[in-house]
Chains A and B, each alone.
Chain A
């Protein structure tokens, strides 16, 4: 049993945290307020090797383990949960290729992401299908020498900037899960129509849109696996991506704690810093406890992934616990800041708005509990 990080992991964390503090945090409030997509910061992070951590070394990636990538994810989310959503979306989109793609597809689709700065989107959710991903309406029909994609996707992160889409659809809705298939689509293909940018509560610097596919032709060789392999690829992707998404909640929670500690030592009420009041101490203790527990879960879920162990149950624990804790911790941070916390001049209200989304996307906290129960009761 060894809980310590390796020297390289500590250095990676230091680098990512330094980047987060110097490059992300200073712009996080402005980009949030104005809804600015962080292109330059994204590119700079890519230049340092902080993006696309899922790409294996043989395809030009750095060869990071899942544990490495959650360490990076936590650090970048510490800088700004909203920007990190854009960064992380690349991994979420590329993971299905890593998991379900052939050697040729990996070379063709992954390697360019290591050679130049590129952005990817994962297109699964539909206006009528969120948690019930098996009920996908988008169709992928055989058009002879190509596939034809038709349908509408919703809440697609990075859609307005993407160089690559991974699109989930069904070859036949009657087949339910067994019909689900995944194809790699060039966003410039004729028939793709982008919706307007969503005006969101939080994560406002990340670009979220609907995407409509009207008779979009996709080369035959762009399907990941065989027709009908999509569901298995998606499920396996989630085992990898949930620890990563959980790590972003962890980073946001850690920032809320650090800010709360700092503020509670400075703010004086009744003649003493509020950190001397037990009511505040208890909130801070609770924050620290939940963060440590979240981190252990996130690291364990990632570690299991690296060991090739089935982590579905632990990954759901990590995702639900870390995001629910982040929500509580950021809410308490606003409480500790009092009136100032509710003001946009101070950084904590944004953390609270950002935290909410992590309980929703990539499987809501309720879906996570369904997964847990299914695993526990099977």
Chain B
């Protein structure tokens, strides 16, 4: 069984984001990169499947800048068997990324039985790549999954939708699944795992190697800027019990007359 996990390297959630002076992207020099948190659920799910099917092979695939390979190394330290990296800039659009991932998966010569990914990357927040990849491979897909069961080649997954309702899908492999928080608890890479990961194979390709060019760009970004600071709000002191009712009544009035939201 060939399982592929798509991972992305993204700025740590605590990173301060600063647009470049020309607005073409963000400053990346001092960013601390981590594996996209949603991708950790995908890696964990792949490893859980591997535990149940020891013959399964888990390959992690990433498209991004080469400067460090933390996300792939972490995934291999967690237990993935091998990795594949397509060297690219960090601001590719979803279509190009999906096409590059497809190319990298095909380069392994293995036919995917399952492709797992995080439901979204917390950098561009697009929620597109898994579904695009599924369409490109002509495979069924379910996104935002929070539950997973597997029996032979039948997969039963729960997809979280509005209001916390769950759609239950049953389908046969091969499938593409986009994972959400709540699906599992990602394991830590262990120290022996980190040592072992050093010896695991990591294939590297260029975008051209996997058949992706500038002509594949579908979405263009420009004018990166910080969101506008709101003008200072109004602050009311309601620490004095005698004035609380008056203050609250005033705020409620403003919500209707000034802000017009009630």
Contact = CB atoms under 8 A, between A and B. Distances in A.
Q: How would you classify the secondary structure of chain A's contact residues: helix, strand, loop or mixed?
A: helix
Contacts of A14: 70
22 contacts: A8-B198, A11-B70, A11-B77, A11-B189, A11-B194, A12-B191, A14-B70, A15-B77, A15-B188, A15-B189, A15-B190, A15-B191, A18-B188, A19-B188, A47-B190, A48-B190, A48-B191, A49-B190, A49-B191, A49-B192, A62-B191, A62-B195
A11 B193 CA distance: 11
A11 B73 contact: yes
Interface in A63-88: none
Interface residues of B, number: 12
A244 interface: no
Contact of A8 (B188, B190, B195): B195
A106 to B, nearest CB: 20
Given A8-B198, A11-B70, 18 more contacts: A8-B194, A11-B73, A11-B74, A11-B77, A11-B194, A12-B191, A12-B194, A14-B70, A15-B189, A15-B194, A18-B188, A19-B188, A48-B188, A48-B191, A50-B191, A62-B191, A62-B192, A62-B195
Nearest to A68: B191
A14 B70 CA distance: 10
Contacts, number: 31
Contacts of B198: 8
Nearest to A64: B191
Interface of A: 8, 11-12, 14-15, 18-19, 47-50, 62
Contacts of A19: 188
The residue among B73, B189, B198 with the most chain A CB atoms within 10 A of its own CB is B189
A62 B193 CA distance: 11
A54 to B, nearest CB: 14
Contacts of B77: 11, 15
Contacts of B188: 15, 18-19, 48
A215 to B, nearest CB: 42
Contacts of B195: 8, 62
**Which of B70, B77, B188, B189 counts the most A-chain CB atoms under 10 A from its CB?**
B188
A50 B193 CA distance: 12
Contacts of B74: 11
A137 to B, nearest CB: 40
